Structure 1
């Protein structure tokens, strides 16, 4: 059994998601091809050289994924402990978020019912694209306006909630196709994430949205709009399937609307001063009026 076969088998035994298995296998294969020597002769210096060659052309998130892939490969498959790899720091970027108007424009740009349902589902539930393409009819409870993501990230099931309108559209869609089981959005095999990305890209172009829009953008938008509506962040954490509240706090960054709604302390100070001046002016005017009235009465 070669190293890649052993790697694949070990990840499946540990319940890694299909996407993680693909990503880890990709980086380990590239590493072995570039190393050009037997796995038994590989060591940490080879890993460092491989990662160094990625620094100038790949994002930090890609470097982190490559590093994690190779660390798992060495530690768990080759039995060679490597602990000293530098971990590239995450880029601190605010996620791209659509406004409600942009989400509506995206939906309006789609004519095919299935494509519209896919976009609606991503925005309505905040699920990941890998979860959406594997969603099955059996996981839906349309009468309760809910459903289950089975073995989501971290191999955990979680509940999601559907809007009334989306539940009705899904019910009609499934009835038209006489589907009572199997994948919701495909037949024998699940859609690929790439299929979904193409649907969203086509809708974005047609809607004239000048932002990068991906399935994850809709997940960000779902979380941010809930936050703007005043939804408790712990509820959002549960809906997103985050094990850590810290992750949710980063993911659902403070929205622009919330930032704009914060009263600047200088404005508060000036408003108090204006109120004070206004009160003093009113008192002076009242005093003058009372004095005038007294003078008139004295005449």
Structure 2
């Protein structure tokens, strides 16, 4: 939901008769009346011009569900002790802060994925807090980070959350005194999982739908991010120069990458059967929009199962495999960096640890031992 400053606010308090009283701050919206009428046991007091509903789990759960996207002010803080579900509701100041965060993201020119990610972390932080956002201090941020670590969240997830909160509190909200709040956990040294060339072929062969097979083939053969692949258009394909033009990829950067001859043949076959107007891979419901990333992820997961691949892999593994296979074939790391669109060579260097080109040349001492003893039954 996108909050608007003229949104009507609700005020909730615990009254002497043990019921909750609800009043609306203008502007009045008829939709709010429809929502509150869905609460079991609600009643309207025409004299005080307020609604009342019983203080029980069913009524509170319904209230918090129907007003989860509305500004709600709790006037009796004690009710949090009996009904902690009220903590999931957000005050007008919370929504105003979220609105400022969204606007600051747009002013910075960040992409829609970053906006969704940062807002998601902001909402989760609000859900975690036991105090209003205006009363947040560095210790609350540190407690949130510790909570994520206890939940065994990945280093990438936690670092992403820290970056989002720092952007929100320090930039969008211009809060002071948070210089020491942003301690990132120690970076995990994990290597990406890579498919063998045989596994890639087996996986692609298991995809029968030509549209899905073509997009997965392009992702592997050109080293694309899935978000880049779904946005491809006709004018991005250059079969003469054998290049793909990636427009406004990660970091809003353009780049060229290799266009496989075999992949282009498959693409031609797909285009001859499909009426493509704008995007190469349009959505099934709306041809003016590209296919959703989630749809490709689903296709990949199904293909992985049908190909009998048990490795923990995702669509992005095809990009990792592209880079690793190029390196094993002797392609210079600088060229791979350009094809992938990495800003730093250090990012590309991770594939030197994944490549088994040189490892395969090394003979295990166990093999030498068996050969020297002549005992093949060991």
Match of 1:228 in 2: 328
Equivalent position of 1:12 in the other structure: 106
Gaps of 5+ in 2: 6-95, 368-378
Contact 1:27 1:70 survives alignment (8 Å): yes
Matched residue pairs, number? 266
Q: Please say if 1:51 is aligned against 2:145.
A: yes
SS at match of 1:45: helix
**Distance in 2, Cα, partners of 1:259 & 1:14:** 45
1:188 aligns with 2:297: no
Offset from partner CA, 1:131-181 (integer Å, 9 cap, x none) = 112222232223332221111111101112111011122123223223242
Displacement of 1:185: 4.2
1:202-221 to structure 2, matched below 5 A, reads 202-221=302-321
TM-score, L = length of structure 2: 0.66
In 1, distance between residues paired with 2:258 and 2:345?
A: 20
Aligned to 1:75: 170
Q: Which residue of 1 aligns with 2:66?
A: none
The CA distance in 2 between the partners of 1:139 and 1:93, in whole Å, is 34
Distance 2:146 2:288 in 1: 42
Q: 2:263 aligns with which of 161, 166, 172?
A: 166
Tell me the secondary structure at the aligned position of residue 224 of structure 2. coil
Contact 1:220 1:252 in 2 (8 A): no
TM-score by length of 1: 0.83
Instruction: Deviation per CA, 1:3-39: give whole Å up to 9, x if none.
Output: 2222122212222222221111100111123225433
Are 1:133 and 2:230 an aligned pair? Answer: yes
Q: Identify the residue that residue 360 of structure 2 maps to in structure 1.
A: 260
The structure with the largest strand share of the pair is 2
Shift of the 9–140 alpha-carbon distance from structure 1 to 2, 3 Å rule, reads farther
Structure richer in helix, relative to its length? 1
Checking the alignment, whether the CA contact within 8 Å between 1:200 and 1:213 is kept in structure 2 is: no
Alpha carbons of 1:108 and 1:209: their partners in 2 closer, same or farther (altered >3 Å)? same
Contact kept? 2:231, 2:279, Cα under 8 Å: no
2:282–2:288: 8 Å Cα contact kept in structure 1? no
DSSP 3-state at the match of 1:220: helix
Q: CA separation of 1:188/1:181 partners in 2, compared to 1, >3 Å: closer, same or farther? A: closer
Contact 1:138 1:180 in 2 (8 A): no
CA distance in 2, matches of 1:255, 1:172: 33
Map of 1:278-293 to 2, 5 A cutoff?
none
Q: CA deviation at 1:183?
A: 4.6
Distance in 2 (alpha carbons) for counterparts of 1:233 and 1:255: 12
Point out the more displaced range, 115-124 or 253-262.
253-262
- 2:193 corresponds in structure 1 to 96
Moved over 6 A (4+): none
Note if contact 2:98-2:119 (Cα within 8 Å) is conserved in structure 1. Answer: yes
Q: Note the aligned Cα RMSD (angstroms).
A: 2.0
Paired residue for 2:348, among 248, 270, 293? 248
Structure 2 SS opposite 1:253: helix
CA contact (8 A) 1:107 1:116 kept: yes
Within the candidate set 196, 213, 216, 1:116 is matched to 213
Residue by residue, what CA displacement relative to the aligned partner does 1:29-78 show, whole Å, maximum 9, x if unpaired? 11123225433222212211111111121112111111111111111111
1:65 aligns with 2:144: no
Q: Distance in 1 between matches of 2:188 and 2:280?
A: 36
Residues 226, 316 of structure 2: 8 Å contact kept: yes
For 1:254 and 1:119, locate their aligned partners in 2 and report how far apart those are by CA, in whole Å.
22
The alignment partner of 1:148 has SS state of: strand
